[in-house]
Amino acid sequence: MNSLIRFKGYEFEHNPETLRITTQKNISQQNVIGAKSVVSEIGDNSRTIIGEGKIHGENCIYKYIKLFKLKEQSGSGVLSLPGIKPFYAFFQSLEFSADPTPELITYKFVFRENSSKNRNSLVPEKYYTVQNGEDLWDISYKFNVPIETLTELNPDIKRANEIEEGRVVKIC
């Protein structure tokens, strides 16, 4: 995994040690009286992303609290995983256990894809106002505009992952 996991502008300091993505199809079985049952495919369920990792260092509890506050935010956001096209997801759960040493926290998380979010309904406009927790990566995904284009159009933005809420960003 080369790139780091990102969600709503938060970038994991280290990728988790394990990452599991599951998908399932919705299957319907109908029993017909006097005949064999009929099984049919009725679509895909949303993806579930489960990861486990560790937070290291003397300030690991503060790093965990920041992750916990992210989980407490309502609504879905763009989830970026290494090697996978970003998609909207909900931060479903976060669990932690502290090691006997005060400089290590082990955590587990679950994200659930927001399959009802229709990305194609977002039509690029010339300008966009940054919402809480968003950064250029999120906007790049939301409007299907390469990050390189956004950085060229907005040269005054020095760090793609640090943009204040309410800032107007040029899209095209």
Domain ranges for the chain, please list them.
1-116, 118-172
pLDDT value of residue 1: 43
CATH of 118-172, one of 3.10.350.10, 3.40.50.80, 3.20.20.70, 3.30.460.80: 3.10.350.10
pLDDT tens across the length of the chain (172 residues):
457 898 987 889 888 999 999 988 878 888 878 778 777 777 777 899 999 999 988 888 899 999 999 999 988 888 888 888 888 899 999 998 876 677 899 999 999 998 776 444 444 458 888 888 888 888 988 888 888 888 888 888 888 888 888 888 888 8
pLDDT value of residue 125: 55
Neighbours of 70 (CB within 10 A): 17
CA dihedral 165, 167, 171, 172 (to 10 degrees): 180
Look up the pTM and report it.
0.65
Determine the Cα–Cα distance for residues 54 and 16; give it in Å rounded to an integer: 7
Closest listed residue to residue 137, CA positions, set 159, 115, 165: 159
- Fold observed for domain 1-116: Elongation Factor Tu (Ef-tu); domain 3 (2.40.30)
